Chain A
Amino acid sequence: MPIVLFRVDERLIHGQVVIGWGHALRPERYLVVDDDLAESAWEQELYALAATGVDVEFLTVGGARDRLDGWRADPTRSILLTRDVRSMARLGEGGALADEQVNLGGLHHEPGKSELLPYLFVTREDREELRRLADSGAEVSARDLPDASRVPLADLIEA
């Protein structure tokens, strides 16, 4: 199980991921999948600051799709992060994330978003992308920290 966590979290690498999930899963690498970030050196530097000694790679969605199978076979324990639902849904197109657990960890409030959980606010487009992700075979659920309870997608949005 070399990709130990797939997570959608707007904050990407931050306290909950590094401390909360990091202590539980002991990752050796973070894979940040985002088309814009993959092109932006100064943003990568900022995000990498929070990783405290763990390697970070930044990839486009297309680049990540090509390497998914390689990571799965690689013994290095990785946490894969996207900062929006859309990138994760694109990653999962064609069943690439079939039967994987996909964790929704944090999308903050903005005007026009509706609240699913105190740490999860979504737009109408996010809802559609979530359905698309689930339809592609991924098991989607929300959980901010490893010791919190897991809320399945079906309990968050109507199918």
Chain B
Amino acid sequence: MGATFLRSFLVQGAWNYHTMLGTGFAFALLPGLRRLYRQDPDALEAAIRRHTEHFNAHPYLTGVALGAALRLEQEGADEGTVRRFKTAVRGPLGSLGDRLVWASWLPAVALASLVIYWLGAGWAWSSAFFLVVYNAGHLALRVWGLRAGWSAGREVAGRLRAAGLGELAERLGPVGAVLSGLLCGVLGAGPLADAGDGGLWVALASAGFVLGLAAGHRAWRAAAVGTVVAVAAVVVVSSLPGGAG
């Protein structure tokens, strides 16, 4: 189980569009499969083959499927059951992980770290805060997932429901909104106000914020391209004869 835990950190190492996490999934299971099928090389090869098949989930929650797959193999479940389990579990593991980790936990900790940084904490405190807090949650989730899968096997749905990961993500929503507000307040009263120009920068930033709020992800490329173009424009204008430079 320890070896599988360590190997689970590499589960996305050979990400591809056909089997997605398949290769990494089989690699993480290998120590356990080797032990189970020590006497039977053909059975080992068949097991590796079924676990290199298509699999996809959130990487931090893949341990749930790894643990449960090992349990099923140990119980001697037939190939069809193993396949059906993996097919059924990847959807919930993917969507729960995306909502909890990528859409809630990571932005919340990143926002908090940025607030701390712009409030004046040095580089060491800001980055240590991010790494320690973020990975406390990250590692707890990985450890919990592998153990839950291993102990519950194909009945792991009950564990996932009882853990309330979706509800936790929901509860992090207001936290993220407060932190987002904090960051905007800190930046507005700090660097944007300090730049002067009669509130021009605060006004521009507010307009940008409203654009993002209204348009969602579609606004991202415009913001990035707009910023690069603005910087380039400053360079061009300053290089003109008699320009601002």
Contact = CB atoms under 8 A, between A and B. Distances in A.
Interface of A: 10-15, 18-19, 36, 40, 42-43, 45-50, 52, 108-110, 118
Interface residues of B, number: 25
Given A46-B89, A109-B18, A52 B166 contact: yes
Contacts of B95: 14-15, 18-19, 50, 52
Contacts of A19: 95
B157 A12 contact: no
13 contacts: A14-B95, A40-B84, A42-B155, A45-B161, A46-B89, A46-B92, A50-B92, A52-B166, A108-B18, A108-B54, A109-B17, A109-B18, A109-B19
Given A50-B96, A110-B53, 11 more contacts: A10-B87, A11-B90, A14-B94, A15-B94, A15-B95, A42-B157, A43-B84, A45-B157, A47-B88, A52-B95, A52-B166
Given A11-B91, A13-B91, A109-B54, A49 B160 contact: yes
Contacts, number: 58
B96 A49 contact: yes
A15 B100 CA distance: 13
Contacts of B87: 10
Contacts of B155: 42, 45
A106 B27 CA distance: 26
A10 B155 CA distance: 21
Most buried by B among A36, A49, A118: A49
Interface of B: 17-19, 53-54, 84-85, 87-92, 94-96, 98, 154-158, 160-161, 166
Closest 10 A-B residue pairs measured CB to CB?
A: A45-B157, A14-B91, A49-B92, A46-B88, A109-B18, A50-B92, A46-B157, A15-B95, A50-B91, A43-B88
Interface of B is mostly: helix
Contact of B161 (A14, A49, A108, A109): A49
A47 B84 CA distance: 11
A52 B96 CA distance: 9
Nearest to B161: A49
Contacts of B85: 43, 46
A13 B85 CA distance: 15
Contacts of A110: 53-54
